[in-house]
C-alpha cells in the first residue's frame, strides 16, 4: 500500500492507495497561515491517523518548486512559512518509510499516466487550469521533472503582455469581467450571450497555450485538469479554432486533448511517486 498526499494552501488531502484504488481518504484544512512547524505537525498527525504497517511509501505533491532528489520544498504557494522545508527528511525520519516529494501538477500528470487517460500513451502533458496554470510532462511513460520540478511551468511562459497564467487561469474571469469561473460557467449554460463570449475568448487563450505545448513537447495527449476542466465543453470549440492554424498538420491530426475524468488524480499521482 502507498499513501498519496495532495498538499495545498487550503486543504491537506490524503489517500491510502491499494491496487490502483483509493481505499480510504481524508481531507482537513491546512493551517497555512501558521508557523512552518504547525503545518508540519498537522501533516504528521494526518499521516499518523492513516498509516499502517502495510504502508511502505508516502508520496507528497506540493504547489511549488521542489528539489525532488532531496525532497526540499521551496516557497510553497499560499503557505508563507514554508520557505525551505526538508520535507522528505522530516517525514521519512518520522514514519520510517520511503518518501518522495514533487510538484502538485507533476503529480496530476503522473496520476493520469498511471491511472487515467494516459494509460495507453507513452507521452503526455498534464495541464492544470485553476487559480494558476501548471503542468507535468510524461516522456516514455516516466515523469520528467527537471532539476527543480520546473520542467513544465508552462503558465510562466510569456504570452502577449504577460504570461499564459494571466490569460488562462480563473484570474482571467475575475480580473477582466468581475465574475468567477464557476459563475461564468453557470451563466453560459443558462444561455447568457455575454458569458458565452467570455468563454470563447478564454478558449482562444487556451488554444494558444496548447500550441505552445505542442511546439515544446509534441505529446500524444494533453490532459486538462484543475477547476476549469469541468467547463471544458464551453471553451473546447474556440480552443480548436485557434489550434486549426497550427503549422504541422500531421501533429494536429494526431493530438488528443481531453479533460481529466479521474477523481482524486493528484492523490493517485502522488502515491505513484513511491
Condensed to tens digits (0 to 9), the pLDDT of residues 73-124 reads 999 989 999 999 999 999 999 999 999 999 999 999 999 999 999 999 999 9
pLDDT band for position 150 (50/70/90)?
confident
Quote the cell numbers at residue 251.
501533429
Euclidean distance between CA atoms 29 and 45, whole angstroms: 13
pLDDT band for position 147 (50/70/90)?
confident
Show contacts of 140-148: CB within 8 Å, 24+ apart. 141/113, 143/102, 143/106, 143/109, 143/110, 143/113, 145/68, 145/102, 145/103, 145/106, 147/67, 148/65, 148/66, 148/67, 148/68, 148/74
Please give the DSSP secondary-structure letter assigned to residue 64: S
pLDDT confidence of residue 149:
84
Average pLDDT of every residue of the chain:
96
Q: Which residues pair with 5 in a beta bridge?
A: 14, 60
pLDDT confidence of residue 196:
98
Please give the DSSP secondary-structure letter assigned to residue 231: G
Condensed to tens digits (0 to 9), the pLDDT of residues 207-247 reads 999 999 999 999 999 999 999 999 999 999 999 999 999 99
Residues whose CB falls within 8 Å of the CB of residue 121, separated by 6 or more in sequence, listed in order? 113, 138, 219, 220, 221, 256
pLDDT at 259 > cutoff 90: yes
Mean pLDDT, residues 128-137 taken together:
95
pLDDT confidence of residue 77:
87
User: For the chain, what's the residue count?
Assistant: 274
pLDDT confidence of residue 146:
87
Please give the DSSP secondary-structure letter assigned to residue 178: S
Amino acid at each position: 500500500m502507498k499513501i498519496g498526499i495532495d498538499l495545498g494552501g487550503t486543504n491537506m488531502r490524503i489517500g491510502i492507495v491499494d491496487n490502483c484504488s483509493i481505499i480510504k481518504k481524508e481531507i482537513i484544512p491546512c493551517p497555512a497561515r501558521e508557523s512552518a512547524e504547525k503545518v508540519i505537525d498537522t501533516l504528521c498527525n494526518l499521516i499518523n491517523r492513516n498509516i499502517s504497517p502495510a504502508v511502505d511509501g508516502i508520496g507528497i505533491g506540493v504547489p511549488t518548486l521542489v528539489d525532488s532528489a532531496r525532497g526540499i520544498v521551496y516557497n510553497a504557494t499560499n503557505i508563507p512559512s514554508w520557505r525551505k522545508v526538508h520535507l522528505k527528511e522530516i517525514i521519512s525520519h518520522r514514519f520510517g518509510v520511503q518518501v518522495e516529494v514533487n510538484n502538485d501538477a507533476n503529480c496530476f500528470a503522473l496520476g493520469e499516466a498511471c491511472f487515467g487517460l494516459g494509460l495507453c500513451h507513452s507521452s503526455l502533458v498534464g495541464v492544470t487550469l485553476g487559480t494558476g496554470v501548471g503542468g507535468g510532462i510524461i516522456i516514455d511513460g516516466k515523469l520528467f521533472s527537471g532539476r527543480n520540478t520546473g520542467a513544465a511551468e508552462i503558465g510562466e511562459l510569456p504570452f502577449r503582455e504577460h504570461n499564459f497564467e494571466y490569460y488562462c487561469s480563473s484570474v482571467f474571469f475575475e480580473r477582466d469581467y468581475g465574475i468567477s469561473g464557476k459563475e461564468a460557467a453557470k451563466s453560459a449554460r443558462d444561455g447568457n450571450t455575454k458569458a458565452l463570449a467570455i468563454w470563447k475568448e478564454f478558449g482562444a487563450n487556451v488554444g494558444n497555450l496548447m500550441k505552445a505545448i505542442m511546439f515544446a513537447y509534441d505529446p500524444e495527449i494533453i490532459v486538462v485538469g484543475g477547476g476549469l476542466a469541468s467547463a471544458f465543453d464551453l471553451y473546447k470549440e474556440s480552443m480548436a479554432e485557434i489550434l486549426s492554424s497550427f503549422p504541422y498538420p500531421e501533429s494536429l491530426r494526431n493530438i488528443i486533448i481531453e479533460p481529466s475524468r479521474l477523481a482524486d488524480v493528484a492523490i493517485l499521482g502522488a502515491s505513484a511517486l513511491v
